[in-house]
Chain A
C-alpha cells in the first residue's frame, strides 16, 4: 500500500532546466533530522513604546513541527516576521540550517529556504492564483523570450495545480484573481505557496483560521508531510487540540517572553491554556 497523497511538485518532477526552481528539499534521512532548521535565541523587539518581544526563544529541528501558542498580542506574528527577515531583532540571535544568520530582508530568508504563511496571507488580490503562487519566483520561458522576462504561465499553472491538489482545494479556475476566492480558498493558496518555496523551514501564522474541518486536517497532514521531508515547521494557531495532536514541541509565548518550551507529548490542552493564562498570574504575583 503506497501513500496516496502526492508530494509537493518540487520533490519528484524536476522542472525543465532554465526554469526557476524552488530550492530543493534535502531528502530526510532520520539521522539528518537532529539538525536545527530554524531557531531564535533570546530575541527582543521594540516598536516605539511597545516591547513586542522581550526574551523569545524557539527551536525547530529538521523534521519537527513546533507549535507556537500565546494570547492575542503575545508577539507571535512579530516573532515569525523576525524569523522571515521582515523585522530585524533588537537583541538575540537567529540560526537557520545550523548557521547563525543575520537577515536584513525577506530575500535573505528566502535564500536560506525559509517561507511564511502570513496571518494576513499577503496575497495580491488582483493577481491570478497562478501569478500569486509564483510572484517573486516567476518561471520564465526558455530561450530569448525568457531572457526578455516572458513568463512561462503553462509551467506555472501545472505546478500550481499539483500544489493545490495536495490540499484538495477546488478552485473554479486558476486564472481568476484572488479577490474572487473565498477566505478559505485564499488561505489554501497562501499555505500551498509557502510550502512550495520553503526548503529549510516553513512558518505558518494561523494557517487554518479560515479553513473548514476537512481542509484543516489536510493542512495538518501537509505539515507532517513537509516535516517528514526534513523541513522545520513552526505553526502559530489558536486551534489548540488539532495542533497539539501533530506538534512535536510546544512553545508558549507570554507577553513577548518564551514561557514554556517542552515536548508536545507532555502537554494537554488544559495545560497549554493554563500556561497561556496562568503564567501571567505567577509573574504578577511574584
Chain B
C-alpha cells in the first residue's frame, strides 16, 4: 500500500474553494474605507476655503482655533460612536458638557482662596477640584442615562432627550442663568490655549484619548463585546454577556468624555459657555455617522469620527470666514447629517439585500 498520495476522499482540506476572494492588502482596504473618503473630503474642503478666503483660513491662528473647536466635538463624537456601536443613542452629550462645566466652575469658585489682587493662594487645589468636578459630573450624567436605558429599558432617544432637558435646565439653575466666569486664568494660559509646537495641548489630549478608544474598539474584549451587543443584543445575551452592565459602562464612559470636554471648554474661555453647545449633539452625530459608524449598531469607525469631526468643524469655520451667517452654518451641518445618514441607509440596505 503506497502511503504517498492519500488525498482525503472528501477532498475537504485539499480542494481550495477558488471562489473565495483573497483578502485585499491592508493599504487597499484602508484607502477604500469611508474614513479615507471623508479625510479626502476634509482636505478638499480645507483647500477650497483656504483659496476662497485668500489666506486667512489657512493661517496658523485659524488652524489652531479650528483644532480647539474640534477638540471638544471630537471627544463627544468618539463617545457617541462607542454608544452607537452598541446600538444606543445619546442626545444629551452637549447638555452633559454644559452641566459639567457649570458644576466644575462653581466648585472652583467655592474652594477658591483669593488674594486681594485677584490671585489664588490655593491654585492647584482649585484646579484639581475643577477637573474632578467636571469629570465626576460627566460620569454621573452618563450613569443616569445608562440606568434609564440599560436597566429601566427606556428607549435611548427618549431617555436622553429627557436628560438633555433636565441637564440643561439644571445648568441654568445652578449658574443662575448667567455664565460662570472669574476662573483662574492659569487654566487658560497653562492648558487651554497652550500649544505644543503648533498644536493646542487640549487637542493633543483629545487625540491621545481617541487613540485609546480606537485601540479599545479594535483590540480589546470591551470593544468586541460592545460590537457584539450592537450587532445583536439577544445573541450577546445568549452567549452570557451582561448586556445591561456593559451598556451602563459605555454610558459612563461617554459621560466621562463629555466631562473631559467640559474642562477643556472652561480652560478655553475661563468661563462656562451656556449657549455655545446647543448644536453639539448634532455635530457629534454627524461626525460619527458620516465617518461610517452604523446607526444600527455593530460597527464603529473611530478614525471616521475623527475625520467626520474635521468635516463639521471645517465646514462651520469656513462658512464663518466666508461671512456666511451662522443660521446657514447650522443648515449646512444639518444637510451633511442627512446626506451622511442617507448614504448610511443606502449602504446598509444594500448589504442586507445581498
Which residues of A pack against B, CB within 8 Å?
4, 84, 86, 105-107, 110, 116, 118, 121-127, 131, 135-138, 140, 148-151, 153, 165, 168, 170-173, 175, 179, 214
Contacts and interface: CB of A to CB of B under 8 A. Distances in A.
Given A137-B239, A214-B10, 11 more contacts: A106-B237, A106-B238, A126-B297, A127-B228, A135-B224, A135-B225, A138-B225, A151-B219, A165-B13, A168-B13, A172-B21
A106 B239 contact: yes
Contacts of B239: 106, 122, 135-137
Contacts of A125: 231-232, 298
Contacts of A106: 237-240
A92 B197 CA distance: 71
A170 B16 contact: yes
A19 to B, nearest CB: 13
A106 B237 CA distance: 8
Contact of B222 (A4, A149, A179): A149
B296 to A, nearest CB: 9
* Main DSSP-derived SS at the A contact region: loop
Nearest to B19: A172
B219 A122 contact: no
Contacts of A84: 238
A123 B232 contact: yes
Contacts of B10: 168, 214
B299 interface: yes
B17 interface: yes
Contacts of A170: 12, 16-17, 20
8 contacts: A107-B240, A121-B235, A123-B235, A127-B231, A149-B222, A150-B221, A170-B17, A170-B20
A270 to B, nearest CB: 31
Contacts of A137: 239
A137 B221 CA distance: 9
Given A172-B21, A173-B20, A127 B227 contact: yes
Contacts of A172: 17, 20-21, 23
B240 A124 contact: no
B295 to A, nearest CB: 13
A110 B240 contact: yes
A123 B235 CA distance: 6
Given A126-B227, A165-B13, A179-B351, A136 B232 contact: no
A124 B235 contact: yes
A110 B240 CA distance: 8
A277 B294 CA distance: 47
A150 B214 CA distance: 12
A123 B224 CA distance: 13
Contact of B298 (A118, A124, A136, A165): A124
B299 A131 contact: no
B1 to A, nearest CB: 11
Name which of A106, A127, A148, A165 has the most chain B CB atoms within 10 A of its CB: A127
Contact of A148 (B17, B220, B230, B232): B220
Contacts of B17: 170, 172
A149 B235 CA distance: 21
B236 A149 contact: no
Given A118-B238, A172-B20, A172-B21, A126 B224 contact: no
Give 5 nearest A-B pairs by CB, closest first: A126-B298, A172-B20, A136-B239, A124-B231, A168-B12
Contacts of A105: 240
Contact of B23 (A107, A123, A138, A173): A173
A135 B243 CA distance: 13
B125 interface: no
B227 A86 contact: no
